Amino acid sequence: MSAFLEVRDLTVTFRVGSALKARLRGEPPPDLTAVDGISFTAERGESIGIVGESGCGKSTLAKAITGLVPVASGSLHLDGNPLTARRDPATMRRIQMVFQDPSSSLNPSLTIERMLSELLNVHRIVPRDAIADRCGELMELVELPRSLLKSRPGRLSGGQRQRVGIARALALEPEVLIADEAVAALDVSVQAPVLNLLNSLREDLGLTLMFISHDLAVVRYVSDRVIVMYLGRAVEDRSTAELFDDPRHPYTRALMAAAPKFGVKKAPGESALKGEPPSALKLPSGCRFRPRCPIAEEICEQTEPDLAGPSPIQRAACHFAWDGHEVRS
Amino acid sequence: MTKRLLEVEDLRITLQAGSGTITPVDGVNLALGRGEALGIAGESGSGKSLTLKSIIGLLPQGAQVEGNLRFALGDESPIPYTSTDVHGRGISIIFQEPMTALNPTMRVGDLIAEGPRIHEGLSKTAARERAVELMRQVGIPAPERRAKMWPHQLSGGLRQRVMIATALSTRPKLLLCDEPTTALDVSIQDQILGLLQEIRINLGMSIIFVSHDLAVLGELCDRLAIMYAGQIVETGPTDDVFTKPNHPYTEALMTSVPSFDATSVKLAGIEGHPPDPRSFPPGCRFSPRCRYAREDCTEADFELVATDADRSSACIHTEVFAEGGR
Ligand SMILES: Nc1ncnc2c1ncn2[C@@H]1O[C@H](COP(=O)(O)OP(=O)(O)OP(=O)(O)O)[C@@H](O)[C@H]1O
Ligand SMILES: Nc1ncnc2c1ncn2[C@@H]1O[C@H](COP(=O)(O)OP(=O)(O)O)[C@@H](O)[C@H]1O
Ligand code: SF4
Ligand code: SF4
Ligand SMILES: [Mg+2]
Ligand SMILES: [Mg+2]
């Protein structure tokens, strides 16, 4: 049987710089490969975390799956059906995204009720006379008082706005919910309730959740499985428990070492990960993590490692990931 | 405590807001020793930035400041000062957003050289050499080449390093850090924290580091001050505060964020949201969100009281809280 969501060799490119200048120089127009041949599958109800440094392609991956940016090559399947560039509204509905900044993605002049009603109406989710009830139910689902339906987004706190953003995504009854840095802009005291909400929604509605964050601790809290991205590639794909227990890719290990931990003092001048990721326009030869890798060897310069391992959710893209390592099943 | 460098006494900042006024910083007391790193933790709007800005005299126009600020410019005890006494001489500041803090119309090298030229009267060439040297010191690769670049041509992490170099260029004794790593990746944050620790130890500098992230503060700071709604509600040595918080808000903050090392116990978070300075709750300002609140909490006068030799708390029910609640 095929997987619920199947992402195969997904590649997304953006045209950057001047195509004309390139043509005058007789070169091909410059393309930036933001997502570079990513493959993974997700089961119904699974929660997958996506982590990686800024610019590694997390949002682009999310937008490609949602249908918000065109795919250069590769394929996407939902429930066995191909997801093409031009999706009909019924297909669009099945995958919804929640964004980082709730205020900029909500129309400030509409009340919450107007916004939700219009959405329910346009997509004909429920009969017209059931719309008001559904708005109330949606508010309950995201644990907001119904009285807030009459408010405009400007009157709400950041945490409340993010809940409205989630309600808006849920209004379309999606099967896949992609949350892109959904709590990053929130005060720390109100992040937890939103994370708990996402966890319970997933359980109650059987949603497949893709949770994107640069914060490993947050990802650990909401995900069954984690995909670590570096420069457009998935470099490790593991169950959450295994990944945190025993990371196999040097990049994952460095990210974990870099995360601040309670009660650990920083040593002067020390850092887990030197330098910054190179530009996606100037990839190093061989393994793209090589210039920053503490254990790189000659082969790393010549051959790019595959994302491989003993099982589909025990994969790491490093020549030495599984050396001398017995994988527990 | 080592010899004092800075004292902030009963700081109160009042600002115009619409037709009325707000007092978003309301009775803050802080003391900082030489070479010490103090962390101020608090959520957005709690008054952290305004507190730092008042210390270096960068408050917005029309701000009214009450209270006493004292700083030790030389080896003597702290004395009252004005912003012109310390600006470019004793205290520097770095911000969260280097792009808005750095003048976009100046080359990076000139930005860093500006302080030494003005305050030490260095020649153009000497100042430029100093800039390159500072860039090297803060870990900017190829400093000669990058000195000629514009701020927007650099990555966020490098821009933050430029800002640090600019701050160090005047050889301050105190570096104020206003969430300088909040906008950065964990990897770059880790690098900047390592750099600040190095600078602090090598140059014997004092630091006040402001952040909403307790774990980040813990990596750098000897002592912590927890801020809520314009007031400091708890202070103490970092490890003690982490091991046993003395204020319900501190405890709540610590159990709000998933910990990197522990698997998921359900996070508590805090009911409601941080209050708006236009309508701070009466009595203990945390009372509407506090799980230990009692009737008399809404009538309590604010006072930060010593609980141990080196610690203080503004909670009037530390006894209940210490027992783990009702
Ligand atoms: N519309 C676009 N045009 C050109 N380049 C783009 C576009 N969108 C993204 N990119 C580039 O693609 C790469 C991946 O970007 P993306 O936004 O997916 O990263 P991200 O992992 O979500 O980063 P962050 O953590 O900062 O959100 C980056 O190099 C980015 O500059
Ligand atoms: N220039 C200003 N005019 C009016 N209100 C301000 C100004 N600067 C800050 N405030 C208000 O003062 C409070 C504290 O602000 P700030 O010190 O920036 O908080 P923090 O740094 O802790 O997030 C906030 O409610 C903020 O909106
Ligand atoms: S393949 Fe080589 S360079 Fe790449 S991560 Fe593994 S050891 Fe490092
Ligand atoms: S004074 Fe009362 S409301 Fe305030 S923190 Fe203490 S117990 Fe909670
Ligand atoms: Mg993104
Ligand atoms: Mg601030």
| Chain A: residue whose CA lies nearest to B237 | A263
What distance in Å separates residue B185's CA from the closest CA in chain A?
A: 6
Quote the pLDDT of residue B100: 81
Quote the pLDDT of residue B2: 75
CA distance B94 to B81: 20
Taking an 8 Å cut-off on Cβ atoms, the answer to whether A276 and B44 are in contact is no
> How many angstroms separate the alpha carbon of residue B306 from the centre of ligand 4?
16
Phi, psi (rounded to 5 degrees) for B91: -130, 135
Residue B43 half-sphere exposure toward CB, CA atoms < 13 A? 26
Find the residues whose C-beta lies inside 6 A of ligand 2: B 15, 17, 24, 42, 44-50, 60, 277
Q: Which of B115, B93, B111 is nearest to B169 (CA)?
A: B115
A195 touches chain B (CB under 8 A): yes
Q: Which of A173, A151, A177, A174 is nearest to A164 (CA)?
A: A151
What is the C-alpha radius of gyration for chain B, rounded to an integer number of angstroms? 21
Is there an atom of ligand 3 within 6 Å of A290 CB? yes
| Chain B: residue whose CA lies nearest to A144 | B272
Whose alpha carbon is nearest atom 1 of ligand 3? A318
Find the residues whose C-beta lies inside 6 A of ligand 4: B 248, 284, 286-287, 290, 292-293, 297, 300, 315-317
What is the C-alpha radius of gyration for chain A, rounded to an integer number of angstroms? 21
Quote the pLDDT of residue A329: 43
Q: Among all ligands shown, which has an atom nearest to the Cα of B50? A: 2
Quote the pLDDT of residue A208: 97
The answer to whether residues A287 and A321 touch, using CB atoms and an 8 Å cutoff, is: no
Taking an 8 Å cut-off on Cβ atoms, the answer to whether A217 and B258 are in contact is yes
B186 touches chain A (CB under 8 A): yes
Whose alpha carbon is nearest atom 6 of ligand 3? A318
> How many angstroms separate the alpha carbon of residue A60 from the centre of ligand 2?
34
| Chain B: residue whose CA lies nearest to A192 | B269
| Chain B: residue whose CA lies nearest to A241 | B263
The answer to whether residues B219 and A265 touch, using CB atoms and an 8 Å cutoff, is: yes
Which chain B residues touch A217 with a CB distance below 8 Å?
257-260
Which chain A residues touch B288 with a CB distance below 8 Å?
none
> How many angstroms separate the alpha carbon of residue B114 from the centre of ligand 1?
34
Q: Among all ligands shown, which has an atom nearest to the Cα of B25? A: 2
pLDDT per residue of chain B (326 residues) written in tens, 0 to 9 = 579 999 999 999 999 988 899 999 999 999 999 999 999 999 989 999 999 999 999 999 999 999 999 999 988 999 999 888 888 789 999 998 877 889 999 999 999 999 999 988 999 999 999 999 999 999 999 999 999 999 999 988 899 999 999 999 999 999 999 999 988 899 999 999 999 999 999 999 999 999 999 999 999 999 999 999 999 999 999 999 999 999 999 999 988 888 777 665 788 888 888 899 999 999 999 999 999 999 999 999 999 999 988 999 999 998 887 765 54
Phi-psi domain of B229 (left: phi exceeds 0; alpha: psi -120 through 50; beta: other) = left
> How many angstroms separate the alpha carbon of residue A289 from the centre of ligand 3?
6
| Chain A: residue whose CA lies nearest to B213 | A188
Q: Which of A246, A232, A217 is nearest to A309 (CA)?
A: A246
Quote the pLDDT of residue B122: 92
What distance in Å separates residue B95's CA from the closest CA in chain A?
A: 17
Distances (CA, A) of A167 to A92, A154, A173: 16, 16, 10
> How many angstroms separate the alpha carbon of residue A139 from the centre of ligand 1?
32
Q: Which of B213, B284, B293 is nearest to B253 (CA)?
A: B213
10 Å CB burial of residue A295 (0-12, 13-18, 19+) is exposed
A282 touches chain B (CB under 8 A): no
CA A260 from chain centre, in angstroms, equals 22
Quote the pLDDT of residue B1: 54
Residues of chain A with pLDDT under 50: 328-329
What distance in Å separates residue B80's CA from the closest CA in chain A?
A: 33
Quote the pLDDT of residue A230: 97
Phi, psi (rounded to 5 degrees) for B65: -115, 130
- Locus of tokens 């997987």: A3
Determine the residue among B185, B188, B199 to mutate to test chain A binding: the one whose Cβ has the most chain A Cβ atoms within 10 Å: B185
pLDDT tens for A287-302 read 999 999 999 999 999 9
Is there an atom of ligand 3 within 6 Å of A307 CB? no
Quote the pLDDT of residue A325: 59
pLDDT tens for B15-37 read 998 889 999 999 999 999 999 99
> How many angstroms separate the alpha carbon of residue B93 from the centre of ligand 6?
13
Max CA distance (Å), chain A = 68
Q: Indicate the residue type of A150.
A: K
Quote the pLDDT of residue B324: 59
B240 touches chain A (CB under 8 A): no
